[in-house]
Structure 1
Amino acid sequence: RSEDSVSATGDQDRAMTMMIRVSVYPFTLIRTRLQVQKGKSLYHGTFDAFIKILRADGVTGLYRGFLVNTFTLISGQCYVTTYELTRKFVADYSQSNTVKSLVAGGSASLVAQSITVPIDVVSQHLMMQRKGEKMGRFQVRGNLEGQGVVAFGQTKDIIRQILQADGLRGFYRGYVASLLTYIPNSAVWWPFYHFYAG
């Protein structure tokens, strides 16, 4: 019965995470476009961007890159697994809870960001796609011609263009900045968590 309750809790957590992503994603897309545009060449603010995207592309326009972005959920599972395995490994060398948590937290973030950053890069390029106009560095062919393109057709096109322009390094733009942000944060957070939880 306890295994069933753990499984149900896991399913509820995943459903809640997905609901939050669905509700927040349009604002993530709008923020990304506002940050990339030159001055106020396309949008005059959040509400203006929301209305213009809805008029041009409909509701689906607010969710460009969403399917690809959901793959970052994998990184969460990898984070937890890496954390637990690293704690067990470090326990062979040190019994200090602080040391185990520090090393495990940093290692977990390293693994998670190694998965998340390439997915985010592709997702953000997909967010930049607009019918008939170029906004980002890359543009899928169908959008340049004002035609729709199958969702994963766009993804493949963006991946191909990133590879051609930058090679594998193109998928890791901002990787070092992400590591410098998340590794120290995670490494410091876990020792405090175990200190206060214990």
Structure 2
Amino acid sequence: MHQKGAIQIIEWEDLDKRKFYSLGVFMTLTTRATVYPFSLIRTRLQVQRGTALYSGTWDAFCKILGAEGMVGLYRGFMVNTFTLVSGQAYITTYELARKYVSNYSPSNTVKSVIAGGSASLVAQTITVPIDIVSQQLMMQGQGEHLTRFKVKPKMAIAASKHNFTFGQTKDIMTQILAADGFRGFYRGYVASLLTYIPNSALWWPFYHFYTERLSRLAPTECPHLLLQAIAGPMAAATASTLTNPMDVVRARVQVNCKLTNPMDVVRARVQVEGRSSVIETFKQLLAEEGMWGLTKGLSARVISSLPTSVLIVVGYETLKRLSLRDDLVQNRHW
């Protein structure tokens, strides 16, 4: 019988690494495929001015599905699958950082904050160029007037016939290189770090905090995995709400949508990724839409984060249990 509140955490040294990585790729791909439509909706909501195109998450879902079909909800998904690399980099960095920090601090909160932030830093360095391209593809269709980069008409026709095509991807990448050079693939990198590092650093400690609290309230015989599956969405909703303003800025900087003021267009093209573009985008957003603009896409983000968190928690905790070293399998209570 386990002690209330004492849910065992499987650490890096407890894992069979071959099982961990082979099963991890499948888990990550399944999760991304499930929540991708909400990511697309969130991006379109955040980039639009006011409610010019969609009035909310449900309205966006219905309009995209009606006008573009299921293909519209998965625009850019094939490119986005390359983030599987960053997913594996994330979990590796997280586990190794926890192990390293444990040499200096026994606090699970400290380990979670540092490891979560470090993992996000590594992952975003890999992910941002992929996000730049996939987000531009997300904006094609009903949202193409909001972005500088558009696929050629022939490419669009081909895409409608054959679902997904890398011809569109090549077209977008060529336009980004021509307009901004290689640095165009890291547009919004600072904004991404300011969004996802805090989000990751907050999610893990909140996740463990909620798990421990639920464990103390639940009956002793309650499965740990069930408690963790509940704690995951709670942590995601908390972290998403706190970091959404920066996520709106990140989307605007990366997509670099059309601006009403010609001087803003010049400034956006001249500015490189970095502090100035983040601050200017933030100021512009506040000037045009006020504080309310900082909540754009929050419902879509929370909605997508809830099932994502359940899948991640159940998948990740199950993955770690299936990847336990053989000599530890019989000694753990789940």
Work out whether the TM-score is over 0.5.
yes
Match of 2:140 in 1: 129
Aligned 8 A contact 2:25 2:88 in 1: no
Aligned 8 A contact 1:69 1:120 in 2: yes
Give a deviation string over 1:46-89, Cα, whole Å, max 9, x none. 2222222222221111000111112112112223444567789x
Q: Separation in 1 of the partners of 2:172 and 2:149?
A: 7
Query: Would the alpha carbon gap of residues 162 and 97 (structure 1) be closer, same or farther in structure 2, given more than 3 Å must change?
Result: same
| Larger RCO, structure (CA 8 Å, separation 6 or more) | 2
RMSD of the alignment, in Å? 3.8
One-letter code aligned to 2:178: Q
Is 1:173–2:162 an aligned residue pair? no
Is 1:34–2:30 an aligned residue pair? no
Query: 1:133, CA displacement in angstroms?
Result: 5.5
Aligned 8 A contact 1:110 1:183 in 2: yes
Is 1:17–2:31 an aligned residue pair? no
Is 1:147–2:134 an aligned residue pair? no
Query: 1:7, CA displacement in angstroms?
Result: 2.0
Give a deviation string over 1:98-153, Cα, whole Å, max 9, x none. 7xx6876655433211101111111111100017953322100027x862345211
The DSSP-based 3-state class of the residue aligned with 2:190 is helix
TM-score, normalization: structure 2? 0.46
Query: 1:186, CA displacement in angstroms?
Result: 5.7
Instruction: Report the number of matched residues.
Output: 186
Q: Separation in 2 of the partners of 1:20 and 1:132?
A: 25
Aligned 8 A contact 2:90 2:122 in 1: yes
Q: Separation in 2 of the partners of 1:132 and 1:32?
A: 10
Match of 2:104 in 1: 96
Is 1:78–2:89 an aligned residue pair? yes
Query: Would the alpha carbon gap of residues 120 and 132 (structure 1) be closer, same or farther in structure 2, given more than 3 Å must change?
Result: closer
TM-score, normalization: structure 1? 0.72
Aligned 8 A contact 1:132 1:146 in 2: no
Q: Separation in 1 of the partners of 2:143 and 2:88?
A: 38
One-letter code aligned to 1:167: G
Query: Would the alpha carbon gap of residues 46 and 103 (structure 1) be closer, same or farther in structure 2, given more than 3 Å must change?
Result: closer
Query: Would the alpha carbon gap of residues 23 and 142 (structure 1) be closer, same or farther in structure 2, given more than 3 Å must change?
Result: same
One-letter code aligned to 1:177: A
Q: Which runs of 5+ in 1 are unaligned?
A: none
Q: Separation in 2 of the partners of 1:185 and 1:40?
A: 26
Aligned 8 A contact 1:75 1:116 in 2: yes
Is 1:162–2:172 an aligned residue pair? no
Aligned mate of 1:111, from 111, 122, 147? 122
Q: Separation in 1 of the partners of 2:143 and 2:38?
A: 22
Q: Separation in 2 of the partners of 1:48 and 1:184?
A: 30
Is 1:43–2:54 an aligned residue pair? yes
Q: How many percent identity over aligned positions?
A: 62
